[in-house]
Structures are given as structure tokens and as C-alpha cells.
Chain A
């Protein structure tokens, strides 16, 4: 005796989203830890040295956090006005920051008072950084100048005025201590060489540049500004490689992951997007507010995001160890011991085994189908749709009823309330091409069954009116699509026959069928 075979629910793959190793890697983060700062977080920088503390610049303070601490380890508060662009030196011992009043301060990581102050800028300094030799500091300011300072003597080495608007982005080269890249609101990105004392390369970004970033090989340069992220090839003389437009508001920050150099960008539209090596978006982090700054810890242990509302959100990577400890703790529980009692008994050779029949668990609608209660099964399936919003289960039950030839029986003899449920389901899903075929049959049967009594209920009548509208719109849309296909056909007819074969896939025919069936039902509805 074979057992009852349950209804097969068709698994429908979600379009567009594909599970790749990248998505799995980036999904593997814990839910974010929120830390409240005093103002908008404008800059986050990780220390390159081992504990990988990070400096967060917000309002008039710079806080240094440990990787897992939620309280600042150290804070620098000697700013009279808003501080900007706190960044570490290559050995993680010094920190430099600009400020609204134009002063640049240099701190020892262990001290509280500024070791040096560089004065010279007449307006706010938004970006500061050490050059890779560690003895010089470069800064970009709203007074349109870029200045290089000597750390030991605290004197200005040079000042370059080539930009025509505020300088808001800066990236020093790690390989050459004389090179740095700046981005400005005058829509340009410039590469400066300290040896010549002027820019050696200029690239037109086309929008005010918010952030520039160099790849570790320093052959590629990333600039963000407006809604665009652009990748430039420096070895080809600053040729534009890719232009990405995945955000719908200004992209404010970009950084690279240390594993595989994947690009991450954050934007005012509250999303962080992760790109793979062919610059397709593979993952997306959602945040509560517009993002101003972002940084990734070495080994991608932490993703820290700073927002306009002063919240710093820190995501930690999940580790396998955590999971194991969780499960092992669960295993120690007494309930499991009771549960497993006798299950791990190994029979001896001459033992006679009596196998216990495995009980088949059925879903509720399957149980009802097993006992041929078709109306109840349909009710259960509709209920499941409202509870779990899985229309494919309901459609699977409808298809099964149709296969058994009892769909009409299941739909017949319903009152106003249960009929509205069915009509609601139809309204929501009838134009979904994956479900339209069985649902159009349902629509046909409902109209056939209740043709006489429809006018008695205003609710049902209103729903039918809406159904007619929906179907009419759908038919119109299909017709338009067919017209487009016709246009395309004439275009492709002039091409080579090989191309024609490739393009003809099965969409035109299926669309055609779909359209015809949709219009037939809508005609039915119209008649009523």
C-alpha cells in the first residue's frame, strides 16, 4: 500500500537574486551595534596596527573605539569647533585631524593634548592625511588649497591651488610618499606629485567629488560624487573604466574590503552596496539614516558606518565558533537527553529488529485532500495565503483540485464572505504570469457558477468591477508589449537569420497565449 503523496508545491525561483559566495560572505554579519555620537559622523578610520581600534570623528570630538568595545577607549575633545577627517598614521601612533576653524591638529594616540598645530588654512579643513613616509601631513581645505606640512618642524612645505572649489576628498598613495589624489567640488579629481609641485593628472568626474579611493595596487582609482561611482585606470593615463549608478542619492563614501578588494559604497539613500570584482552589486546593507562615512576593518571583521543622525552602526562578522558554542550549549540541555533516549542504541548481530513505521506528517490541506474534502482544502489554502503570504501554496492546491476534476465542486456553494476571499486572491495574483493560467480557470468557473446571484451582493459586485479593471489594464499592457515585439521583429528581420533564431526564444508565444486568455476572461467579465 503506497502512502498518500502530498500536493507538490512548485518552487519558483526569485528573479534577479542569485545566491553566490559573495552574497553568502556579506550576509554573514551580526545585526548592527548602534553607538550614539554627538553629531553627524563624518569620518571613520581604522588603525592599521593589531588591535585595530578605530577613530570616529563626529561633532567636536574624535573618539577611539576598540573593535568590540561600545564605550570609547580614548577621546580627543580639545576642539573649539567641529573636527573633520581624523586619520591614523601608518604605524597607528599618531592621529591628525582638521577642523572647521582651519587648524590642523596632530595627536599622540596616548596623549590628550595636540602635539602640533598647523596653522595656515583660512577656511575649514575637511580632509587630512599622512603621506606614506609618515613625516608629512597633507590637507585639503575649503580655501581651495592643498597644503603639505612637515611633522617635526610643523612648517608648511608647500601649498597648491589648482582646484576651483572646496576640496572634500583626499587619498595619499601608499607606494609613493610624494603622490596624493584629491577630489573637489569643481567636479575634478587631480593627482599631485610633490616632486613637481603640481598636478600630474586630472580627471573629470562630472559631479562634485565626495570621496576618492586608491586600490592597493594603485593602478585603479575610485571617485564618488553625485549618484555616480567611477573607476579610473591610472596606468592608462586616467581613462574611465566603469561608471556605476546604483544609488539614488549622492554617494558619500567608498572603501575597499581587505579580503578580495571588494568595493563598498555608502550613500545618502541609506544603503551600503557591495560590488563584486566585475562591479555588480552582490549585497546591500540597509541603514536608518543617510550615510556619511564608512570603514571596513582588516580581515573584514567589522563594518562601521557613520550616519547624519550621529549614530555609528557597527556590524561584526559571525564566526563558526560562535555557532558551535551555541549548539553545544543546547546539546547539554536535559530535554535532549530525554528525547534521544534509546535512539543511539546499536543492535547486536543476532538481535531481531522491528522497524517502527515512520509517520507521515501532512499539511492541513493535504489531510483534507486525502479525505476528499475539496472545499475545506481550498479554504485552508486561502487561509494559508493570508497568513504566510505564499500564493504558490494556494495555487498548487488549486492546480491539484483542477487535476482531480473537482475544482468546480470546491468553488460552488459559497457565501459572500468566502467568495470575497477567493476574489481577493484573484485580484492580487491573476496577472502574475506564473499563476495566471490556473487562476483564469478559477475566474471562469466563479463567473459560471454565480452568474445568477452576483447582483444580490454589492461587495462581490464591486470586486468583480475591480477585477474587470485589472484585467482590462493587463490586456492593454499585453497588447502594447505585443506591438513592441512586432517592432522588434521587423528590426531583427533585417539582421542575419542566426540572430533571429537566438532572439525568438519562447516569450512571444507565451505572451501571446497569455494575452488571448486574459482578454477572453475580461470579455466574460464585461458581459456580466
Chain B
């Protein structure tokens, strides 16, 4: 067993961007959103990811603009710190250490130097009780400050951050929990609470889901679970409060937002329709339908020109005030479950998995960017809770990437299952997949496994289904018309003793097809459709199947439900070796002989990488993560690493990505890789300083002159250089600070100018 420290598990791109409301900078040029432990800055015009604010060590849970300086942003995180950033240059200004996990952050113009934070009550169980506390920020010049001056505003508040809002310039704060609305007046230091009945007569659910306060008027808008919006007025006098009710949403209102002038109220819910209510004239509303997933958050820019909605399909939509979508920022869509395997598109090398309902998404891992969605179902999506929708459950690419097979399914709950097998051809002209064949009743029961043959010449698809049959599909060749058709038809139907197949796999040269029927693996020849042999190692149903590659192509690997990993030799048809491992995922590397096996034992997942020819693993990583791993994929590298270390050699040509049950996309990175990344980023910084700073031009001119002088007269003494250097220093020190670029940029140049140049000395030995 080899334990190494230079390979570590890293979380790679594709974290959620929809966790918190995105914020728009006051000049409407940037959109900021949280993404894992980063804050990402996007451009509103081009939808491009500009840079990210890196520094938190855990999930960032809230961001808000600093009311005192609109170029700065506060962010809070579960790691217990609040950080203040300059988001245009991406510089960390200050860190406030609070000391307990933070879940949301609120600020108000009226309360300068005070932050309002959600913290979980330490004594209670974690998710149940939350507290709203105010923190006074100490004034100090240090980078890292401890802020301990906390005072509780209210305990027992909702864990939903959108159930808290500041009203009318910060005069009061409103927060709701279950059926109670509380308003805390800062001046009176008093809390008024208003409560609703649990159910109306009509059986409506009255629980609060979100709150928004009018910026200039004494009005609170609340959203409810049954889709109603209530506008509360006159709550300053506790007894005489009134409210009016609006009802358009048919399901819970997820979010509410007033425009900065307070002329309109925006609301969104599961229907994915952005509704704009005119304040005062409540019946007049505008709609923007079919935005994508259900709307989770809405935010408006301070000038009211732009709105941002974040959606459940990990998307941020930028909308103009004229109700026109002008930009979409799409992250990796991670639904409740990844139903398809993780796949790599052989053409674009993008990661492919099911994304939006009924779509396949193509995601570039290299650039951490969503490329495009391929609409598989091609039906109008109805946003309604509890509706049985078509989902893409299986997908497979052929080896060249010119064919894509998908299976969509509906009716998991009810008895009548509907599914379609679709085949898509790659169109060179549009650079996208075009529907070629739809097969309505490919099998009589659910398709369990699907794979393309791996040979370059003939493409063949094999599907195995629960109707105890597997079918081979071929393109064209209909005997009747004697013409080369370009659609697919069934070529062969096979079965084995009426057993249900569990998996199917082609060998590397596609001369053999292995189909596992419960405990038995059958080997078929795809040319003649003859069953060659059967392999069996009871007890336990076969779960995964894969053939060895390259020099190990004579081996067939199989895992069973009874914790057995078996390796058969196909030449002798005998069991070569077997070990007792509970393998949850077996993933062969297409570029080498290596096979990765994830095993789940005693609440943590281990990774073994081995060659089928020998039972000893090449690499072992204990405790990769604490959840089960069901999806993994080897991604080819753009340029191979050339590490000679035995333990990292398996990562030379491809990278292993895997998805945990919590939908975290993780990968392994090696020391050499990180070194390379680090050096490239350093280079970038230097290049940046050359290109960006106008000040550099000034300095650079001097430097060039310096260098010229050096080359011309290197035997001469250093005196003129010193004077040149001092000029630079003078210039630097005498320029007003507000026109200077960031100190980090100037620092290296500044220090350089102090140094005595020794270029001439260096050049001599070279000559």
C-alpha cells in the first residue's frame, strides 16, 4: 500500500451560484455571487467571469455591498469570518473574525459600522435555532481584526435568510418565522409581532416564506406558502395594523423584492415567472415567463435599471428594467440527482451530464464554464410541484463523438412507464447534435444499461432492459429498399434464460460484448451474435462490468453486490483473481490499463487504482470523502504530465473526477500540477502589471533607459544608475496616493529600483 501526501483531493468548479441573492454593483457593471468558498465577479454586459474573491475557507453564505463605500463588499462564511473586499481589483481589505458559523449578513445605511448576522445558537441542535445578532466592527488598521462586540437582536428566527429585511432606511427590521411576523424598531427598542392563523377556512397554508420592505414607505410585503402576497401597513401602531392580500402564484412565493424607488414589487416562485406588481395599483402586473428553473432570489441594482434572478438550476439571469432578458450566467446544473453517468464528449472534451429537466448539459471543466444545453425531451416544461416530468436517465457517446444516444423516462411513481430511446447525430455545420431517430417502444420495460461499440468503422448500440432482453441497434441497412438509410433499427435481440440483465459492456476492440444477467456474465460475439461463453462467480448479482485495455485486454472485471471484485482471464475463461471489496463504482481509464475502484466502507470512501493484470493496487487513497461515490470519469489532459513518481503516474494522461452523493464534484491534483499552476499564475501577475498600470509606462521608460545605459557602458561605475533610481523613488513618493495603483503591483518595481543592477555581470560569463 502506498500512501502519499502529494496527491490531494480538491474541489473543482461547478459549485452553486444560486445559494444567496446575487448583488449588482452600483454602476451596474458587475454581478457578484457566492460560489462555494469563493465570491465570483461577473460582467453584466458580457456574462463573462472576470475574477473571484478568494480567501474564505468554507462555504460563503452571504454577500452585501458596504453602504459606506459602494466599491467594497462584505462577505460572511461558515468559517466564522466576515471579509471586506475591493471587488473591482479583487483585493482583500480586512478580515473580521467573529468566531462562530455565520449564515447571512445584512447591513443598513443608518447603522454604519454595524453588521447584522445570522448565527446558529450554539446550545441547540444546528439547523433548528438561529439568532440575529448585531456586531460592531472595531476600527483598527490591522488586516485581521477580532470582532467580539455582539448583541442579540432576536433569537428564534427563521433559518431562511430571505425572511429578514430592513425597512425604510434602517428604522426597523422585520423578520418572520412560521406564522409570526416580528418588527423590531431600533428607536423604540421594541418588537411588535403579528401572527396569522395556521390555516384559513379554505385550507390555505399561511406560513411566511419571504419578506421585503418598501424603501421609502412603511410597508412590508410578505410571501406565503400558498402563493399569496400580503402587504402590511400601519404596523407602527400595534393594534391598528392592516394588510391587503394579492394572489397570483399558485405555489409558495420564494422571493420578493422592491425596486429601489419603491414603484414596483417583484416576486418569483416555482413557476419560474417573474411577476412585477405596480406598487399602489395592485391589479396591474407584468409577467416574464419561462426563465428556467424556479426563481430563488431576486435582486435589483441601486439605480433600478437591472434586475437579477437566481434560479434553482444554478443560473443567474440578468434582466433589464424593460423586462427583457439581457444575460444568463449559468453554472454547472446539479439537480437532485445525476441520473446519467458522467461522460466526456469526445469532440469538445466537455463533461456531459443531465442538467435542466429534460436537457443534457455540456460543461467545460478546464474553463469552469457551462458550454450549452442540449434539449433532449423537446417539450414544454410545466413548472408545477409534484408533476411527473420526463427526465434524461441514460446517455452514451460513441467513440468518435458523432453519435449520442439518450433515454428519457417518465412515470417512476405511477405504474405506466413511458420512455423513449433517441439517437442524435453530430452536425458539423451547426456544431451541435441533431435528432436522428426516436424509438418509442425500444423495450417493454425500463432500460438499465446502454453502451456503444468502441470500433471506429461500425457503430452499434446495445441496450439492456428489465424485460430480460438486450437489443443491438444498427444504423441503416434495410434489406427491403437496398438503400443506405441513415436511421437506426434493431439488429438483434438476445436473452439468457429469462434473467434480467444488469449491465453490458463492449471490449476495447469491440470484438466481444459482455452482458451480465443477474449472477451470470455472458460473452457474445457481435459479428455473428453467437454466445461464446458464460462466466459466473456466485453469490451476488453483477453490478459493474468492464474490460481491460491495451496490454490487459484479455481481462474482464466485474463487481458483485456481495462485495466481490473479480477478474476473469478471457483466454482461459477462468477466474484470475478476486478480492473482497465493496466497490460502488468501477471506472476504467480509456488511455491506460488502469482501473479506478471506489469502495464504501464504514462511512468513508476509499479509492484503489490498479491494473487488471495484478491484484496489487498501484495507488490507494483512504478516506477520499465521507459519502458514497457513484459517478466518476477519467478526463484526458490537454498536455500530459511527465511525473515519474510511481504513485502519481496514473494521473499523467488523464484526470479522475468524481461526484459524491452531496453533488460535490471532486478531483485529484498532484504536486507537479499545482507547481505548474502556481508558476503560470505568477507569470500572469507580472504580465498584468506591465499591461495595466499607466504608471508603469512612466517607470518602464526609465527602466529601458537604464538598461540601455547598462548595455552601453557597463564598465562605468553605478553612479548614473543610482541617480536614475532615485528619480524613480522620488516620483513614486511624491505622487499623490489616490492616483497610485495598488501597492502590491508597485511593490516589486519599487524594490527593484533600489537594487543595484548586475545585468552586465550576468552577461559576461554567458559570452
B-contacting residues of A (Cβ < 8 Å)? 1-8, 10, 18, 20, 369-370, 400, 403-405, 437, 501-502, 504-506, 509-510, 513
Contact of B495 among A370, A400, A504 (CB under 8 A): A504
In contact, A504 and B289 (Cβ under 8 angstroms):
no
Complex CA gap A20/B480 in Å reads 10
* Least Cβ–Cβ distance between A410 and chain B, in angstroms: 14
Complex CA gap A462/B530 in Å reads 56
In contact, B440 and A505 (Cβ under 8 angstroms):
no
Is residue B388 contacting chain A, with contact meaning CB distance below 8 A? yes
In contact, B379 and A5 (Cβ under 8 angstroms):
yes
Contact of A18 among B290, B382, B441, B481 (CB under 8 A): B481
Q: Which residues of B contact A405 (CB under 8 A)?
A: 382, 384, 387-388
A1-B440 contact, Cβ under 8 Å, with A20-B481, A403-B379, A505-B493: no
Not counting A400-B379, A437-B416, a sample of 10 additional A-B residue pairs whose C-beta atoms are within 8 angstroms of each other reads A1-B291, A5-B380, A20-B481, A20-B483, A405-B387, A501-B495, A504-B493, A505-B493, A506-B444, A510-B441
In contact, B289 and A404 (Cβ under 8 angstroms):
no
Is residue B378 contacting chain A, with contact meaning CB distance below 8 A? yes
Residue picked from B288, B289, B379, B388, most chain A C-beta under 10 Å:
B379
Complex CA gap A370/B443 in Å reads 32
* Least Cβ–Cβ distance between A519 and chain B, in angstroms: 16
Q: Which residues of B contact A7 (CB under 8 A)?
A: 379-380
* Least Cβ–Cβ distance between A120 and chain B, in angstroms: 52
In contact, A1 and B387 (Cβ under 8 angstroms):
no
In contact, A404 and B382 (Cβ under 8 angstroms):
yes
Complex CA gap A169/B466 in Å reads 63
Is residue B467 contacting chain A, with contact meaning CB distance below 8 A? yes
Q: Which residue of chain B is the closest to A405 with respect to CB atoms?
A: B387
Q: Which residues of A contact B440 (CB under 8 A)?
A: 10
Complex CA gap A510/B291 in Å reads 40
The A-contacting residues of B in range 372-390, CB under 8 angstroms, are: 378-380, 382, 384, 387-388, 390
Q: Which residue of chain B is the closest to A22 with respect to CB atoms?
A: B481
* Contact size range, B: 20 to 34
15 contacts between A and B (CB under 8 A): A1-B288, A5-B380, A6-B380, A7-B379, A10-B440, A18-B481, A369-B380, A403-B382, A403-B410, A501-B493, A502-B493, A504-B469, A506-B444, A510-B444, A513-B444
A-B contact count (CB 8 A): 58
In contact, B495 and A5 (Cβ under 8 angstroms):
no
In contact, A8 and B443 (Cβ under 8 angstroms):
no
Q: Which residues of B contact A505 (CB under 8 A)?
A: 493
In contact, B379 and A1 (Cβ under 8 angstroms):
no
Complex CA gap A2/B382 in Å reads 13
Q: Which residue of chain B is the closest to A440 with respect to CB atoms?
A: B416
Q: Which residue of chain A is the closest to B292 with respect to CB atoms?
A: A2
The A-contacting residues of B in range 445-501, CB under 8 angstroms, are: 467, 469, 480-481, 483, 493-495
In contact, B379 and A8 (Cβ under 8 angstroms):
yes
* Least Cβ–Cβ distance between A13 and chain B, in angstroms: 10
Complex CA gap A370/B382 in Å reads 10
Is residue B91 contacting chain A, with contact meaning CB distance below 8 A? no
A506-B441 contact, Cβ under 8 Å, with A4-B290, A18-B480: yes
Q: Which residues of A contact B467 (CB under 8 A)?
A: 506, 509
Q: Which residues of B contact A6 (CB under 8 A)?
A: 380
Is residue B325 contacting chain A, with contact meaning CB distance below 8 A? yes
In contact, B443 and A506 (Cβ under 8 angstroms):
yes
Q: Convert B545-584 into 0s and 1s, putting 1 for each residue whose CB lies closer than 8 angstroms to a CB of A.
A: 0000000000000000000000000000000000000000
Q: Which residues of A contact B469 (CB under 8 A)?
A: 504, 506
Complex CA gap A20/B482 in Å reads 10
Q: Which residues of B contact A370 (CB under 8 A)?
A: 380
Contact of A2 among B290, B384, B480 (CB under 8 A): B290
Complex CA gap A51/B416 in Å reads 68
Complex CA gap A222/B416 in Å reads 56
* Least Cβ–Cβ distance between B444 and chain A, in angstroms: 4
Q: Which residue of chain B is the closest to A406 with respect to CB atoms?
A: B382
Complex CA gap A509/B467 in Å reads 9
Complex CA gap A96/B387 in Å reads 82
Complex CA gap A369/B381 in Å reads 12
